Amino acid sequence: MSFIGEIIEITIRSVTISLSATILSSLWSIPLSLIIARSRSRMTKALMGVLNSLIGFPTVLVGLFLYIIFSSSGPLGGLGILYTPFAIMIGEALLITPLLISLSYEIFSKAYYEYWETSITLGATPAQAFMKLITERFEDIIVVLLIGFSRAIGELGVALMVGGNIRGFTRVFTTTIALEVSKGNFDIALFLGFILLIIVSTTSAIIRIMGGRKSD
């Protein structure tokens, strides 16, 4: 395949995997953050402290940990998902979970009480009150998801350890960049970074501007 063709292929794969990972992760991270925001105990604060510190946990270790689990001699080896795009997606979804929970928690912990109470007094079921909170903070949640996506697409450790950087199959932006750096192809690496930057930043700028238009 041509150089450009390969870059396009890698771009599509990276975006697909990281976007799926972000959406997957939001399925548990956002409800969890709401539940945590509801509780105001000392325990919750400690839990948030731990989650905050997990945000920057070395991705290579997350990758290693997942590798051990997914490896054929590991507990989930039977699933045979090691070195597949699916494994990267799962791994990234887990990786960004502390980030998504922490950021959503900050959003909800402020707004939680007043919007929740208001919805409830107007007759909302807990599920409806949850939904209200989420629509109320919709733009903020989009920002959180963008940050999560940016983190997912930019991380290396998980993609490398459970994806394997297999050409034409699990090779994504960051693993390509790492490979090019190890080849000494700094120019190509920087070029790839530039493309990544353009893609992520235009998407996110557009989403923010659009989001801004209908906010409040």
Partner 1 sequence: MIELRDVWFSYNSGKPIIHGVNLRLSNEITIIIGPNGAGKTTLLKIIACLYKPDKGDVLIDGVNFWKLKSKEKLIMRRKIVYVHENPVLFKGTVMDNVTYPLIIRGHSLEKAREKALKLLKSLKLEYLTDRKRNELSAGEFQLVAIARAIISGAKYIVLDEPTSNLDLEHRIVLESIIREIVKSGKQVIIATHDRLFALKLNTEIIEINNGEIRSILHSKDLYQEIEEFIKKAGKKSLNS
Partner 2 sequence: YNQSVKIRISTTTSLYATGLLDYLYDEFKENHSNVVVQFIAVGSGAALKLAEQGDVDMVFVHAPNLEADYIKRGIITNHTIFAYNYFIIVGPKSDPAHIANLTPIEAMKSIYNSCENGQALFISRGDQSGTHQRELLLWNLSGLNPFNKSWYIETGSGMSETLLVANEKNAYTISDIGTFLKLKGDGRLPNLVKLVDKGKILINIYSAYIVETAKTNSDTQKVIKSLMKFILSDTGQELIGSFGVDKYGQPLFYPAKGHEDELREIWQWFVDLAK
Which residue among 39, 72, 118, 202 contacts partner 1 (CB under 8 A)? 118
Shortest approach of a second copy to residue 183 CB, angstroms? 12
If one asks whether residue 86 binds a second copy (CB under 8 A), the answer comes out as no
Residue from 65, 67, 105, 149 binding partner 2 (CB under 8 A): 67
Q: Which residues contact 139 (CB under 8 A, 6 or more apart)?
A: 211, 212, 215
The site partner of 102 among partner 1, a second copy, partner 2, none (C-beta below 5 to 8 Å per kind) is a second copy
DSSP reduced 3-state for 133: helix
Does residue 103 belong to the site contacting a second copy (CB under 8 A)? yes
Q: How far is CA 94 from CA 46, 65, 101, in A?
A: 20, 11, 11
* CA 39, chain centre distance (Å): 24
Kindly state the tokens that stand for 99. Answer: 């980030």
Size of the site for a second copy (CB under 8 A): 61
- Length reported for the chain: 216
Of the candidates 64, 70, 94, 68, the residue with the CA atom closest to the CA atom of residue 82: 70
Question: Using CB distances below 5 to 8 A depending on partner kind, what does residue 157 bind out of a second copy, partner 1, partner 2, none?
Answer: a second copy
Query: Longest Cα pair distance anywhere in the chain, in angstroms?
Result: 63
How far, rounded to the nearest angstrom, does the alpha carbon of residue 85 sit from its chain's CA centroid? 15
Judged by CB under 8 A, does residue 11 bind partner 2? no
Per-residue tokens: 193: 């970074």
Among 45, 58, 80, 117, binds partner 1 (CB under 8 A): 117
The answer to whether residue 142 forms part of the interface with partner 1 (CB under 8 A) is no
188/160 Cα distance (integer angstroms): 19
List of residues contacting partner 2 (CB under 8 A): 67, 71-74, 82-83, 160-161, 164-167, 169, 171, 175-176, 178-179, 181-187
List contacts with a second copy (CB under 8 A): 42, 45-50, 52-61, 64-65, 68, 102-103, 106-107, 110, 140, 143, 146-147, 149-157, 161, 173-174, 177-178, 181, 186, 189-190, 193, 196-197, 200-201, 203-209, 211-212
